[in-house]
Amino acid sequence: MKVFCRGPDPTNYIASKALNCLNELGFKDPRISLLKVKLHLFLIGLAVKDRGGLRDIEKEVSSEIQLIELCKAEIDDEEVLKLIDLEIAFAITMSSKITAKGLPTLEGKEPINNHHVVISLLEGKCLYLLDNFLADQDFERAKVSLLICETRIKSKDISDASKESIVEAIKVFQKYECIKLEIRAHICLAKLNLM
């Protein structure tokens, strides 16, 4: 409990310590490599959630992605590699979303709108990777559709496909009993109907 109450620093320390221990073991096992990938993705999540400095986020995300790419070489399962690619694309998108929010504006200028970059990353990378998977990736597809819809609402770039995809996402969230995501999807659908 103390780890999570004190903020991201102790959690970051524990994850980094675990990675160091795994590297010192020297095993070439796909399961250990997958654990390393998960820890690196966890560190990316901490960096994005902490929102320290914008340059620090970009630097940390890129360095963690480089380390993930090294770990991927030891994994043979193609489906796991595609899922890792999806998580990397998702991490890049989330860090882009955070840095887009935090971009400074010049006096008298409009705020920098980086929503189209986030949408293109979600549609171009995440949905592309999901289309290469089997039908059992519907939950991940629904999460990506929800993020696309939320971003489109913020940028006021709405299409009929947005309504259809959010309705499908609601069905998936109901199937898996994810109430918070279902509520977010219902809110998006209500906003879409009001626009």
Give the single-character DSSP code of 109.
Answer: S
More confident residue, 160 or 34: 34
- Domain hosting 28: range is 1-78
In this structure, is residue 88 part of a structural domain?
no
**pLDDT tens digits, 120-159:** 888 888 888 887 765 578 898 899 999 989 988 888 877 7
**pLDDT tens digits, 66-117:** 999 999 999 998 888 988 998 898 888 888 777 655 544 434 444 445 777 7
Indicate whether 145 and 61 sit together in one domain.
Answer: no
The alpha carbon of 127 is separated from its chain's Cα centroid by a whole number of angstroms, namely 12
Indicate whether 112 and 53 sit together in one domain.
Answer: no
- In this structure, what are the phi and psi dihedrals at residue 49, rounded to the nearest 5 degrees? -70, -35
- Among residues 32, 75, 42, which one has the least CA distance to residue 24? 32
Indicate whether 35 and 71 sit together in one domain.
Answer: yes
Indicate whether 110 and 195 sit together in one domain.
Answer: yes
In this structure, is residue 94 part of a structural domain?
no
What is the model's pLDDT at position 28?
83
What is the model's pLDDT at position 101?
57
**pLDDT tens digits, 11-33:** 888 888 999 999 898 778 899 99
In this structure, is residue 157 part of a structural domain?
yes
- Provide mean pLDDT across the span 50-68: 80
Give the single-character DSSP code of 158.
Answer: -
| Of 32, 61, 78, the domain-final residue | 78
Token pair for 148: 């696309």
Between CA 108 and CA 52 the distance in angstroms is: 26
Give the single-character DSSP code of 6.
Answer: S
What is the model's pLDDT at position 134?
54
Q: How confident is the model at residue 7 (pLDDT cuts 50, 70, 90)?
A: low
In this structure, is residue 20 part of a structural domain?
yes
Indicate whether 193 and 107 sit together in one domain.
Answer: yes
Tally of domains within the chain? 2
